[in-house]
Amino acid sequence: MGIPKQKTLNNKTLSARIDALPASAGLWRFIILLSLGGFFELYDLFETGYISSGLLAENIFHIGTAGVFGISDQAAFASSTFLGLFFGASLLAPNADRFGRRMTFMFALAWYGCFSLLMSFQNTAEGIILCRFLVGVGLGLELVTIDTYLTEWVPSHMRSRAFAFAFFIQFLSVPAVALMSWWLVPQTFFGLTGWRYVVIAGALCSLVVWIVRKNLPESARWLAQQGRHEDAHNVVSAMEKRCGVSNSPAYIAEESPAELPRKGTFREIWSPEYRKRTLMLTVMNFFQAIGFFGFGNWLPALLSGKGTTVTHSLLYAFFITLAYPLGSLICSRYADKIENKWQIVLSSLMTVVFGTLFALQTHPVMLVICGFLITYSNAWLTFSYHAYQTEVFPTHIRARAVGFCYSFSRLSTVFSSILIGLILQYAGTQGVIAFIVVSMIIVMLVIGIFGPKTRGINLENI
């Protein structure tokens, strides 16, 4: 009995067309549109620390054993966020492989926007913490989907640069939420306290972006992997037109044996072909989160431990956090000129060097300079590993594998936050910095020794 024939589009031709897209205004507009979703995700994520004072002032949150779970409601609020991120990234991210990047992307954006809006009208700690967990689920799913979406549409010659610029836009949310909270949290308008407006602003803007982004194209690579070759051809042709390519090739189908779309499974990410990469990225995510959130979330406390007042600590912290967007913008100028795995190693080394110097400083100016450079290195590390971990897995398991590995950074944050608090109490600032430095050395070794090269290589050949 003969093998049935079907018409398929050559996947190499499709990849070559994507890699040939010019770095035009049309392609950058697409990248910016994707990045806006990430802006409001990080806005939502970083608002955790800024709105807690308003919740305490309104007597919704309580400290110590008076909290809902016998611990501070602020701690439960933060933990529920990261627990939601863990579940969203690990359990729901595979849906991006099943239903497509665009649909999952839009679903996650609407999900966390709606639950964030619902959270702003809660009047009990229980209601806020539950809504925050659900918001975290949407955030975890969205972050993984954006990374896979961006990797599959951006040409190989500008992948790292595109991620650096995307995180420049996303990290603008850090000073934005800080300024919004500084202005709104102490206020009351129309009977609603200010912290609610901080949450409402992020939720409504994310829903506006949802409307604007309804016209985003599906990932052509995902469509081809699903056997929808003509649809893949059409979306690539539309992107070529958007990028100013005047002559797109006509759709020419090839006769080949019919193949069912390849469905990824959890077991496959542990197959001999991908096991080493899965383990490498799981370890990397676990320990890089200690450096990123360990320094970022505890910065005011670390500065206070160096002898600065609370007011000065917050002021210094604001200037230091400006390095998140500025660092990403500066890095976008050279991101494509260095192998991605070595960018992860170099940025981790930078954290080690300036983290050690930070622990030795007492002068305010030197504290700010060292803190700024640590934050710069964290921004560099962030876009590098987000780009890298989406490059090293194939399309049919990309979201599933990245979601699983990335979820360990969320799980790490829950435990490391408790551990850093204990270290700060018993070993001081130097002890915390030492903990962060050791974590970054582990990241350097794991990626430097086991990480494959990806710079300028077509996704299908990595």
Q: Check if the beta carbon of residue 359 is closer than 8 Å to that of residue 409.
A: no
- Position 11 scores a pLDDT of 58
Could you tell me how far CA 72 lies from the centroid of its own chain?
27
- Position 52 scores a pLDDT of 79
The C-alpha atoms of residue 399 and residue 36 are separated, in whole angstroms, by: 20
Instruction: Find the length of the chain.
Output: 462
Q: Check if the beta carbon of residue 351 is closer than 8 Å to that of residue 187.
A: no
Neighbours of 447 (CB within 10 A): 24
Instruction: Please give the mean pLDDT across all residues of the chain.
Output: 84
DSSP line for 149-173: HHHHHS-GGGHHHHHHHHHHHHHTH
The C-alpha atoms of residue 110 and residue 115 are separated, in whole angstroms, by: 9
- What single letter denotes the amino acid at residue 128? I
- Position 311 scores a pLDDT of 47
Nearest alpha-carbon partner for 373 in 390, 395, 398, 356: 356
Express each pLDDT in 137-167 by its tens digit. 999 999 899 999 999 999 998 999 999 999 9
Say which residue, 225 or 6, is predicted with more confidence.
Answer: 225
Is residue 184 very low, low, confident or very high in pLDDT (cuts 50, 70, 90)? confident
The residue assigned the tokens 């060097």 is 353
- Position 43 scores a pLDDT of 86
- Position 302 scores a pLDDT of 55
For the segment 321-326, the average pLDDT, to the nearest whole number, is 86
The C-alpha atoms of residue 61 and residue 403 are separated, in whole angstroms, by: 32
CA distances from 115 to 2, 75, 89, 232, 433 (A): 54, 20, 17, 33, 36
- Structural tokens at position 401: 């594998």
Q: Check if the beta carbon of residue 292 is closer than 8 Å to that of residue 439.
A: no
The C-alpha atoms of residue 85 and residue 337 are separated, in whole angstroms, by: 32
Most confident of 309-323, 335-349, 430-444: 335-349
Produce one character per residue of 80-108: b if its CB has 16 or more CB atoms within 10 Å, e if not: bbbbbbbbbbbebbbbbbeebbbebbbbb
The C-alpha atoms of residue 454 and residue 386 are separated, in whole angstroms, by: 13
Q: Specify the range with the lowest mean pLDDT, choosing from 8-17, 224-233, 284-293, 422-431.
A: 8-17
Whether residue 65 has pLDDT greater than 90: no
The C-alpha atoms of residue 68 and residue 45 are separated, in whole angstroms, by: 21
- Position 9 scores a pLDDT of 52
Q: Check if the beta carbon of residue 384 is closer than 8 Å to that of residue 281.
A: no
Whether residue 128 has pLDDT greater than 90: yes
The C-alpha atoms of residue 292 and residue 233 are separated, in whole angstroms, by: 40
Beta partners for 254?
8
Whether residue 420 has pLDDT greater than 80: no
Q: Specify the range with the lowest mean pLDDT, choosing from 103-112, 369-378, 379-388, 415-424.
A: 415-424
- Position 303 scores a pLDDT of 58
Nearest alpha-carbon partner for 238 in 5, 4, 18: 18
- Position 270 scores a pLDDT of 94
Whether residue 383 has pLDDT greater than 70: yes
Most confident of 79-83, 272-276, 371-375, 422-426: 272-276
Whether residue 56 has pLDDT greater than 90: no
For the segment 360-382, the average pLDDT, to the nearest whole number, is 83
Could you tell me how far CA 189 lies from the centroid of its own chain?
33
- Position 257 scores a pLDDT of 46
Whether residue 117 has pLDDT greater than 90: yes
The C-alpha atoms of residue 344 and residue 354 are separated, in whole angstroms, by: 16
Whether residue 6 has pLDDT greater than 50: no
Q: Check if the beta carbon of residue 105 is closer than 8 Å to that of residue 163.
A: no
Is residue 4 very low, low, confident or very high in pLDDT (cuts 50, 70, 90)? very low
- What single letter denotes the amino acid at residue 278? T
For the segment 50-56, the average pLDDT, to the nearest whole number, is 82
Q: Specify the range with the lowest mean pLDDT, choosing from 1-15, 175-189, 312-326.
A: 1-15
Residues 6+ apart with CB under 8 A from 83: 133, 136, 410, 414
DSSP 8-state secondary structure symbol assigned to residue 263: P
The C-alpha atoms of residue 67 and residue 56 are separated, in whole angstroms, by: 11
The C-alpha atoms of residue 292 and residue 289 are separated, in whole angstroms, by: 5
Whether residue 7 has pLDDT greater than 50: no
The C-alpha atoms of residue 236 and residue 224 are separated, in whole angstroms, by: 11
Express each pLDDT in 214-264 by its tens digit. 778 999 999 998 889 889 999 999 999 988 887 877 777 655 544 556 677
What percentage of the chain reaches a pLDDT higher than 70? 89
- What single letter denotes the amino acid at residue 421? G
- Position 458 scores a pLDDT of 84
Express each pLDDT in 255-299 by its tens digit. 554 455 667 789 999 999 999 999 999 999 999 988 777 665 555
Is residue 456 very low, low, confident or very high in pLDDT (cuts 50, 70, 90)? confident
The C-alpha atoms of residue 264 and residue 279 are separated, in whole angstroms, by: 18
- Structural tokens at position 164: 């650096």
- Position 124 scores a pLDDT of 93
